[in-house]
Structure 1
Amino acid sequence: MAFVPGEPLSNDSSVVLQKAREHTLLIIDTNEVRAQHLARLLTFAGLRAIVTSTSYQAFNRFLKERFVPRLILIGQQEETTNPLFARFSQRLLQDLQQDIPVMPLSSIYLNDGLLLTAEESISSTMHCISPPNRLILRRIWQVLPSAQIPLKTMEHSMALESLPKIGFRPRVARSKRSFSSHLHYQLKAAKHVIPPDQWDVLTDVGLAQFCQEDQWPSAVDQFTIPPEYFSLLTRAVMFSRPEQPLQQVHHWADQVEADTLHKALLIFLMQQIPKIIGADRTMRTLLGVLTNEIDSRRGEKLTEWKRLEDGSFIFVFYSNIFVYSQMGSERPLCTMWQSSFDLILRLTKQQQQWNIREVECSSQTHTGHCVFLISPRQR
């Protein structure tokens, strides 16, 4: 069966974060829960939120970071009568040579910040778009139409159309919880790569609770972490180095500690496998190891792979955590999984044997699922 290759991950940051760079939205809201939910929603829609609680904080961040807000979202209407807000608005007009529209949040209620989510009671095969949060985005788009993205699932996708014909069984996450240890080590790695003066970027993506290390989830294998946290953290890592976001994610992936692939015994076994069983069986073994590790972290079977007749392999991440709820991307975004595959090839000295790349990403198709193609290199 033939598959149409997707576009490889782009190193062009002007593409990867283009919409976010062009659409910064400033939130001024003392309601922290609402501000964090809204920050998540904007992040999942491909935008860049700057989260503050007062005009003073917003003004300070503007002077320090020189961002260009396209829209100001105000939580408390009385904030607009604050003399400091008037000074801030005047400074924006002076520096940017344009009036920045202001939108009140008083009538907006967000139960969560999710845009695309697994709801098995609605669909057992693909993710669903949140109706109430869709309406909130449309209100924002009325003021900022250039920020719009298509809020629908791609009509034709490999995960839902082509792959089931060869035995794949699309599914969505049921428990929607992952190991707390997984996020703990992801945060620990992020702390190494995000500059200290940018660590508050976690607040801007809706993860303010993790700015303080003593608030991190414990390093134990308990199913407590919602999948969207991984997607938001990935975005925070990208925002911390906007000129080279994908390279920053690769650097982050390389820093992750306590990953099964780094355990000495497994590294030894992985290095010995190719000497014993050859390239094809090596890949089968490695994919089995990876599948078991990922599924154990999530507490359910959310990966699937098969070998094709031409010797290639297809690997699917269902309800993929690293782009969970993300929509409207211009390119595949599963850099974390790409880095994991690259690491596997390095550890097993299989770089010359296999080429691995993402051929379908949920951030583009909006199915919730991501597909990788593993092909033998031509000799």
Structure 2
Amino acid sequence: MLFGPGRTSSTNPLNVLKNAQEHVLLIIDTNVDRVQKLASLLTLAGMRAIVTSTSYQAFDRYIKERFVPLAILVGQKEETTTPLFGRFMLRLNQELHYETPIVDLSSFFLNDGLILSAEAQTSSTRHVFSKSNAAVLRRIWQMMPSAAIPLQQAEKTIVMNTLPTYGFQPRVTRTKRSFSSHMYYQLKAAKQVIPAEQWDNLLRDVGLGQFSREENWPSAVDQFTIPPEYFSLLMHAVMYSNPRHPIQQIAHWADQVEADALQKAVLIFIMQQIPKIIGPDLTMRALLNILTNEVDSRRGEKLTEWKRLSDGSFIFVFYSNIFAYGTIGANQPLCGTWQSSFDLMLRLTKQQQQWDIREIECSSQTHTGHCVFKITPTRQK
């Protein structure tokens, strides 16, 4: 079978955050713009940023959360001369039994918080790495070599090498914007699943501190204002809120989003009536068209594509996928949000026994920017 049977994105749920849990960086910095870009970069590169602005906040979070920082990144050098910082370092050294490196952030310059992104002028078919931000990451990786990730794309991928022979046309986002309403509903759902006491810290930790207060959320209107990486970063915050069950937490979050944004009365009615009229194969075609129209309308450009194969299965591609946007070095597929959307469609149409849907390639592993799902009739399993 050319594409394989697909693989579940929850094969090893405890390993999803393994790299992040082993590579924690404590940031103490009052420069909000710099710290949020750096937090974004570290998050997307598989590390765990703990963002604070003072020694007091850093000490307080250490006592409450018991994280193990491999380095402390300090934005204001004078912070290291305060008595409280000295006591904090003494406590760390005593409990961790090693001297935690201190890094001066004054020489760190970031234009954004991305290591991998769509740059249509450079490549119209795949995402590219940021040279300037790669230099920042390499400085950090010198302190923790085990966190280093090869900044290269997989040599051969389904989306770039196989699918074009079936007529697929890989592409990247050109506008790099999504509906503000989509982000609004994502935030609303995230706040329902992330414990209240974790909300502010987690959003700052992933580089989305501007959304910790609801009054700063984007409007629930259909305007193209939201960068794609915001969705990927929010997904990481959701996973961090339940590190023992991150995949289940993503599914819980996705279900909340669908309850708000997708389960519209008319859409549900149409989806429930389709199978009674046209049967499983045409039902799936209709469902994929519905999903395609919904996703593409939110992004303002054609960034999904699907085709039926001769064996009766379907391939569905999310180009410049927002839920894996910028993410690198994952040890398994991370598109639990789309998996939940597919599962919801099957439930609404009572097609769970007819189809098996699995992600077979994820950009968080291949670094192309694109993610591929295979939809297989259960009779083939």
Q: Normalising to structure 1: TM-score of the pair?
A: 0.98
Distance in 1 between residues matched to 2:6 and 2:148, nearest whole Å: 23
Contact 2:39–2:113 under 8 Å retained in 1: yes
The corresponding residue for 1:263 is: 264
Deviations 1:150-208 (A, max 9, x none): 11111100111000011000000000000000000000000100000000200000000
Write the distance in 1 (CA, Å) between the matches of 2:6 and 2:102. 39
What's the CA shift for 1:244? 0.2
Worse overlay, 13-22 or 127-136: 13-22
State the partner residue of 1:365.
366
> In the alignment, what sits opposite 2:291?
290
1:253 CA displacement: 0.8
* Counterpart for residue 281 of structure 1: 282
1:54-113 CA-to-partner distances (Å, cap 9, x unmatched) read: 111100111111111111111111211111111000000111111111111111111100
Q: How far did 1:378 drift?
A: 2.1
Determine if contact 1:185/1:258 at 8 Å carries over to the other structure. no
- What is the SS of the residue equivalent to 2:289? helix
- Alpha-carbon distance in 2 for matches of 1:4, 1:254: 28
8 Å CA contact 1:11, 1:244 repeated in 2: no
Question: Match of 1:148?
Answer: 148
| Mapped contact 2:26–2:50 kept (Cα < 8 A) | yes
- Provide the aligned C-alpha RMSD in A: 1.1
* Structure 2 residue aligned with 1:31: 31
CA distance in 1, matches of 2:241, 2:220: 24
SS of 2:357 mapped into structure 1: strand
Shift of 1:11: 4.9
Query: Which position in structure 2 is the counterpart of 1:252?
Result: 253
User: Is it true that 1:238 corresponds to 2:239 in the alignment?
Assistant: yes
Asked if the contact 2:177/2:299 (under 8 Å) is kept, the reply is yes
Letter of the structure 2 residue corresponding to residue 366 of structure 1: H
Query: Partner residue of 2:85?
Result: 85
Amino acid at match of 2:308: R
SS at match of 1:314: strand
* Structure 2 residue 164 is the aligned partner of structure 1 residue 157: no
Tell me how far 1:7 sits from its aligned partner: 3.7
Give yes or no for contact 2:229–2:325 (8 Å, CA) kept in 1.
Answer: yes
Mapped contact 1:231–1:326 kept (Cα < 8 A): yes
**Corresponding position of 1:352:** 353
Deviations 1:296-338 (A, max 9, x none): 0000000000000000000000000001000000000000000
- Cross-structure match for 1:60: 60
| CA distance 1:97–1:260, shift in 2 (3 Å) | closer
Aligned 8 A contact 1:42 1:49 in 2: yes
Q: Equivalents in 1 of 2:339, 2:258: separation in Å?
A: 17
Equivalent-residue separation in structure 2 for 1:297 and 1:258 (angstroms): 17
Over residues 210-233 of structure 1, what are the superposed CA-to-partner deviations in whole Å (9 max), with x where a residue is unaligned? Answer: 000000000000000000000000
Q: Aligned letter for 2:208?
A: L
Give, in whole Å, the separation in 2 of the partners of 1:147 and 1:139. 12
CA distance in 1, matches of 2:314, 2:215: 42
Once the two structures are TM-superposed, the CA of residue 4 in structure 1 deviates from its matched residue by: 3.4
TM-score, scaled relative to structure 2: 0.98
Percent identity, aligned pairs only, is: 68
> Which runs of structure 2 are paired with 1:55-204 in the superposition (5 Å)?
55-200=55-200, 201-204=202-205
Answer yes or no: is the 8 Å Cα contact 1:173–1:302 preserved in 2. Answer: yes
Find the aligned partners of 1:263 and 1:207 in 2 and give their Cα distance.
29
Secondary structure of the corresponding residue to residue 120 of structure 2: coil
Secondary structure in structure 2 of the residue aligned to 1:292: helix
The secondary structure found in structure 2 opposite 1:378 is: helix
Contact between 1:354 and 1:377, CA under 8 Å: does it hold in 2? yes
Q: Are the aligned partners of 1:19 and 1:47 in contact in 2 as well (CA < 8 Å)? A: yes
**Deviation, structure 1 residue 12:** 3.0
Q: The residue matched to 2:107 in structure 1 has which SS? A: coil
Q: The residue matched to 1:202 in structure 2 has which SS?
A: helix
| Gap runs ≥5 in structure 2 | none
| AA of the residue aligned to 1:180 | S
Q: Gapped runs of 5+ residues in structure 1? A: none
SS in 2 for 1:46: coil
User: For 1:259 and 1:282, how far apart are their aligned partners in 2?
Assistant: 24
User: Post-superposition shift, 1:258?
Assistant: 6.2
Q: Secondary structure at the match of 1:323?
A: coil
Cα offset, 1:8, TM superposition: 2.2
Distance 1:272 1:188 in 2: 30
CA distance in 1, matches of 2:285, 2:53: 52
